[in-house]
Structure 1
Amino acid sequence: MIKDGDKQQIARTRFLSGQGKEEVELYERSNIDKKIPALRKAKTYDSRGRKIEELIARYDSKGEITSVTLFQGNKKFDQRYENGKVVAIDKDYGKEISPSILAVAAAFVAKNSVGAQGSIASAPAKYVPLATTTGKQFNIALDSPVSIKNNIDEIDVRDNYIKKIEVESQAKGEVRYELLAANRSIVKSGVLKSPDIKFQNLDSGDYQLNFYQAGKQGQRIGSSKVSVAPRISSVKVNPSMIKKTDGAFEVPLKWNSPVDENIVEVFENNSKTPIITKAVKGTSTSIKVPSVNNLTWRVRGSISSVLPSKKSKIAPPELLKELPVPAPIIMKYKKDFGGCYSFDLPKIPNSTKYFIEVYEDANRTKMVFNRWLDNTGVCWQSSRHGKYFYRYKYFDSWNRQSSFSKIGEIIFPISPLTEF
């Protein structure tokens, strides 16, 4: 390890963090021409003067960072760079080195600053500089800083989780970003065009968001960790799958969940107290309810109840807005029930009864027949002949009635013995 005496202490600054006051010391050793750093070292101390972390960053003759070493207690972690990007992480550390304010501040100070002045612009916003006690004052802005403005906002939109990240940039010129998965694969990349970046349908896990200054050999100028918590998302209830049996409605429910054991809750009239609570092993079940009016449901993990979930609405299927009307129907004569002319209306899903009206003309000026029907079959005892016009509507399991259909045509055969 290089001794502090081999370097010039350029700054000692106090910070206010979530744990109280902390201090950071930054040391620098320049190369022969004294214009760019060859090595920088940073330390942080807690309010009692105890060292928390120590980080050393090394550079080549062009000022490009080549490696970083992090010390935490008796542990040492190394990380290598090529062209400003990480190419090898320490297996014992298990991820890219970016711990607390020390690593963040020192890494970016060392990487982006030139000469004796440093910067802490890439440190999280909650670390506010209070005072400079020795050495030259830190710049509070890099020439091209990019930093996360505030915490990540998670928005739930129809079970699609969107990560919305607000970015504050004072960079000159174009800034590129990359979102990396835990295995270092690129999930999404692009050019920063607005203060917001939105990532939709991210799988649960840890990500890293990196920013690069275009035109400077891909120099990284900002970084942030992004975590997506495991989530439960419901699958919309298919109204056509709701069945009525024995005076109750059977509703199938399905969902996606990262855990095997879940709890289904059903609510009525926006109540906070569920009317049904059901433990389920797996990701599907069915419930029986007397009515599906004003019902909502949700699933939560019984193992980890903090998993985010949302309520979904259980609703009957919409009534058909346009009922089917077949081509002109030629009625058939049946000898049953004393003889009648019969035809069938179209079968409508979830229907319980029908109502039909028959008129002499298409303008419906004179009704000659109407009837309530428990099924689609129509039996009309009549000695009429010729063409007539009808319309119908239906009632469903929720006692709702549709609008009338358009006008259809029915035709009496020439005689009861005529075959068609």
Structure 2
Amino acid sequence: MNKKTQAKLSLFLSSLARRLEENHDFFQAVTFCFRSGQKSFQGEAAPDPQGVKLSWKGAIDVLSPSAFTALLVDECLLYDELELSYKERGHQTLLRATDKNVQVTNEEADKEAVDKEVKPSSLLHRSYLINPRDAAPLLKELGILSKDGKVKNDKIRKYNQIDHYVELLAPDLKELAKGRSRLCIADCGCGKSYLSFVLNYYLTEVLKVKVHITGIDRSESVIASSKAMADRLNYRNMTFQTGDIRSLELKEKPDLVLSLHACDTATDLALAFGIRNKAQLIVAVPCCHAELNAHYEIKELQPLLKYPILKRRMADALTDGMRCLILESEGYRTSIGEYISPLETPKNLMIKAYRTSRGNKDAQSQVLSMILTLNHAPMLYRLLQGLEEPLPEAQHREE
């Protein structure tokens, strides 16, 4: 190739070097082939913690992104043609350089291959955000898809729940991403982390939003399992750690804090974590509500609450109602609605809280009034007031 082509190639590859640095967590591979006459010389660069691991001319070297692209620029003068493919999650860039021109095209990565590999499931009578045709590697890893690309019969309910969860969060995720170069998400009581993996896929490969997700759980076994799954999927923008979220500090403050089906007061621990970190959005789907049920008393309602099942159901509503009110008192605009049909599970309420201010004095007064009415201060209130509580038994998500 001539000097003119080299100059054009240098411009493109300098931008590729920046992309390799900025998108290192999402980078998958660079493959390239130099040609001279009938001879071809192939090379490959893979992700490495120090930059890229280059396989070229029988040798393996670890180079910085800029050193790697500089090598390609230097080498191009020795050959007639270069074909290069850069792949990152959800995206692929193709380049062809000759003496005449440098051509660059962009496309969705491996979409054609996925379409050939995966057959649409017969259950898909609606549009799914996590489509099995496009998300096949992820859904197979989660055990939802069979080897032939169909949703397993015993996983249809789980698949619908996961997709509906993303559907409910999609507008919030799009809004949250505005004006941010990257989203930081914390999944409290992450369990097997199914939803974290699915949100990672949706944000990165569908919305094209950079994201880093931290899964937190007290169980070392589920954290080890999640780490192994992230490695198999090559999701390098995820970290998992054990810890007590009452005192845990992340390297980056989360924009979004999630808690799905964390048992009893574990939901309160997650909500308090989000409030302390001033998360812009907190989303929780509570599970059981035993804590308030064991303590609250409303003298005027005793003739009705003497029936245990009614007292327990009232405690469910009061617990989530108090959680919403306390969130409002801390400056969050709060809503609560059905996550899925109660026919699927009675644990079907989703709390969303958007941070809008530092606090709400009216809501603070209402919280104190309700504590007097209930004759009990709920766990979330006590956590935010710094009152010491014994750590509950290990509680993590019911996947």
TM range (shorter): under 0.3
Judging by fraction of residues, say which structure has more helix.
2
- Structure-2-length-normalised TM-score: 0.25
Q: Quick one: higher RCO (CA 8 Å, sep 6+), 1 or 2? A: 2
Q: Which has the higher strand share?
A: 1
Task: Calculate the TM-score normalised by the size of structure 1.
Answer: 0.24
Question: Highest CA radius of gyration, 1 or 2?
Answer: 1
